[in-house]
Amino acid sequence: MTTAAPPVDFDQFEEQTWKTRLAYVTRLLLRDRGGTLGFILFILIVLTALLAPVVSPQDPLEQNLRAAKQPPAWEEGGSWEQPLGTDTLGRDMLSRIIYGTRVSLTVGFFGVLIAGTLGMVAGLTAGYLGGRVDSVIMGVVNVFLAIPYLVFVVVVAAILGRNLINVILIFGITDSPIFARVTRGEVLRIRESGYVESATSAGAGTARILFDHILPNLIGPLITLATFEMSAMIFYEAGLSFLGLSVPPSIPSWGNMLQVGRQYLTIYPWIATWPGVAIAITALSFNLLGDWLRDVLDPRLRRSRN
Amino acid sequence: MKPILQVRDLITRFYSVDGVVHAINGVTFDLYASETLAVVGESGSGKSVTMMSLVGLIPMPPGKVEGGQALLEKGDGHLDLLSLSDDQLRHVRGGQIGFIFQDPISSLNPTMTIGQQIAESMTEHLGLSQAEARSSTIKLLRNVGIPDAEKRYNAYPHHFSGGMRQRVMIAIAVACEPKIVIADEPTTALDVTVQAQIVDLVKRLQDQMGMAVAWITHDLGVVAGIADRVLVMYGGTVVESARVDDLYEDPHHPYTIGLLKAIPRLDESGNDETEKLTSIEGTPPDLYQELTLCPFAPRCDYVFDRCWQQLPPLIQVDDQHSAACFYDVKRGEPRDDIE
């Protein structure tokens, strides 16, 4: 038995411009409080990264040993010139946190871009062609997943040197198997779906099946995965920095700051606290956003929420 | 009358991990222009697989069409569907043979608008421009009974009810005015009032466009209302084929007789209130075995020694009426005219 669809105002379909779409998505966003919070934080974080030179009060690299290890402004001995205090070399914590956003977001964004592109192409090929191609591609993927990731990173960092591009490449490559797996799974599911069968029965060719039917239905789950992976990569990058395997200490990154702060955790706790807070807020915003996207991009969930 | 589709000795098998499934074992039938042919049989009898095999819609592998011919009338000559390349078959599908599936809920792509999905096959097969396809689609949407068609062109499937979606599916099937439409249990997933509307809609479109409809169903009630001829399938074979009235009044195969006894009838129950519906005992045949005997023999009331030795061929028993049985139920004795 079928359930009757709720009454629909068909006027809303009259014209589908980017304006009506945007209004629709905004409505969906405002209905989800977590999503709204995640989205606002996300926008703030991105703006911070883009406008770092404008919004940061000081040069993040400028050392001032006389003002070293100064606590946050509201504590005794603090000064509003360095609202979040200074580190062991007297550099302004706030400015360093702001600049650190750039490293984290760059790694997260480009890492996911590379991983997503590689993984999607591999997963799509494996899932759609099937058979031997599938076995070979998924074999490679499984080998990749079997390599201990940290060892791989240490080796590559040792050979290629420590810089941002290498970190991005390593993340992009090591994370692509996850995208490949998810893509392949989705392609297998979509390929067996009623609408692909009916499109095939209406004479649609391979290109049409791929681009009109499989890809659009794939994008939703992949965007959701990308959001979560981005937050994971920001974590990993901080971890690598903490181990001294990511960007050199001359570049302010949250992991580097955390690593310095660790040594002074009991005496000057703010040095480690602020980068920790920044990492936590960023990860939280991406995860909230990802949860919301998962709900919105799945048409079935969207309908049940309407 | 000349058939537009002649299927001869179709054999389809599935090579699964558990063994070979003998899904279709020599199916032969004709489909005439603008007629409605009902294909009935229980689950697994090969109704759908037969139709899917014709246009290459069964998954290959594991499926494989291993024999037979399917001659589609084309101009003065014939086109053997089973010998076409994938690309040629693609143009037959949608262009000359349209499909309506059972489940309208999952048969529409949730990310494309209703209109795009209908227009797609028009641009594909008729070579229409986007704008032409759009206006034809809107006309077609109106024709299949969707009000406010211009606005609904941009609606997505989840805005539509099951019955409306099935109308859209029907629009997709007839978008290129195919000669043949294969309707694979199109009313099973719908509620009864909507079923009747869908049946009427297909009939009306059939009259308008003059297409032949092969209506796959297990609902003999629907069959009586719509079909010109009926094909009864069992175990991947055709066991009886007849005009619809002949089949109901004068069934020749014991399986058909059993099926008809299992339908509740309002007009005959009045005489005897204790009359019970009968069912056919036993289970459908195991298709992992190659058919070397009558597939219905284990469940048949009229079974005798020959049925266990040989697969009965489909023989003519009357004008446009054939059955595959060694026993003549009318005379109450085995037939002696089958080789």
Selected residue of A1, A2, A14 to mutate for chain B interface (largest B Cβ count, 10 A): A2
The pTM score is 0.76
pLDDT of residue B78 exceeding 90 = no
**A-chain residues near B117 (CB < 8 A):** 199
Which two structure tokens, joined as six digits, stand for A110?
């480009």
**More confident site: A88 or A96:** A96
pLDDT confidence bin for A2, thresholds 50/70/90: very low
CB of A193 less than 8 A from some CB of B: yes
Q: Which of B57, B154, B161 lies nearest to residue A201, judging by beta carbons? A: B57
The values of phi and psi at residue B182, to 5°, are: -105, 115
CB of A76 less than 8 A from some CB of B: no
CB of A300 less than 8 A from some CB of B: yes
Report the DSSP beta bridge partners of residue B328.
B333
C-alpha atoms less than 13 angstroms from C-alpha of B54 in its C-beta half-sphere: 30
Report the alpha-carbon distance of residue B79 to residue B88 in Å, rounded.
Answer: 10
- Residue A43's nearest CA partner among A304, A259, A286 is A286
Selected residue of B159, B167, B177, B188 to mutate for chain A interface (largest A Cβ count, 10 A): B159
Report the alpha-carbon distance of residue B59 to residue A201 in Å, rounded.
Answer: 12
Report the alpha-carbon distance of residue A229 to residue A223 in Å, rounded.
Answer: 10
CB of A132 less than 8 A from some CB of B: no
Selected residue of A191, A198, A223, A300 to mutate for chain B interface (largest B Cβ count, 10 A): A198
- DSSP state letters, B59-119: -TTTEEEEEEEEEEEETTEEEEGGG--HHHHHHHBTTTEEEE-S-TTTSS-TTS-HHHHHH
**B-chain residues near A302 (CB < 8 A):** 158
Q: Is B289 left (phi over 0), alpha (psi -120 to 50) or beta?
A: beta
Distance (Å) from the alpha carbon of A55 to chain B's nearest alpha carbon: 41
**Cβ–Cβ under 8 Å, residues B27 and B237:** yes
Each residue of A237-285: pLDDT tens digit? 888 888 888 888 888 889 888 888 888 888 888 888 899 999 999 999 9
Put the strands of the sheet holding B237-243 in their side by side order. Answer: B97-100, B180-184, B212-217, B36-40, B229-234, B237-243, B321-323, B315-318
Amino acid at B168: V
Each residue of A278-304: pLDDT tens digit? 999 999 999 999 888 877 776 555 544
Q: Which of A194, A204, A303 lies nearest to residue B120, judging by beta carbons? A: A204
**A-chain residues near B123 (CB < 8 A):** none
Task: State how far the alpha carbon of A145 is from the alpha carbons of A148, A176, B152, B272, in Å.
Answer: 8, 10, 47, 72
Report the alpha-carbon distance of residue B256 to residue B296 in Å, rounded.
Answer: 11
DSSP assigned state of A86: B
Distance (Å) from the alpha carbon of A138 to chain B's nearest alpha carbon: 20
pLDDT of residue A1 exceeding 50 = no
Each residue of B284-322: pLDDT tens digit? 888 888 888 888 888 888 888 888 888 888 888 888 888
Q: Which of A2, A198, A212 lies nearest to residue B191, judging by beta carbons? A: A2
**A-chain residues near B193 (CB < 8 A):** none
pLDDT at A300 (0 to 100): 53
Residue B8's contacts (CB-CB under 8 Å, 6 or more residues apart) are B28, B68, B69, B70, B71
Contact A205 B124 (CB under 8 A): yes
Each residue of A153-191: pLDDT tens digit? 778 877 887 788 888 888 898 889 999 999 999 999 888
**More confident site: A52 or A73:** A52
Q: With pLDDT > 90 as the criterion, what percentage of chain B qualifies?
A: 4
Report the alpha-carbon distance of residue B252 to residue B257 in Å, rounded.
Answer: 7
pLDDT at A114 (0 to 100): 95
Contact A203 B189 (CB under 8 A): no
Number of H helices, E strands in chain A: 13, 0
CB of A194 less than 8 A from some CB of B: yes
ipTM score here?
A: 0.77
CB of A195 less than 8 A from some CB of B: yes
Each residue of B11-57: pLDDT tens digit? 898 998 888 888 888 888 889 888 999 998 888 888 889 998 888 88
Report the alpha-carbon distance of residue B209 to residue B205 in Å, rounded.
Answer: 6
The values of phi and psi at residue A111, to 5°, are: -60, -45
Q: With pLDDT > 90 as the criterion, what percentage of chain A qualifies?
A: 24
Q: Which of B160, B172, B189 lies nearest to residue A5, judging by beta carbons? A: B160
Report the alpha-carbon distance of residue B284 to residue B274 in Å, rounded.
Answer: 29
Residues in chain B: 339
pLDDT of residue B243 exceeding 60 = yes
- Residue B44's nearest CA partner among B64, B63, B22 is B22
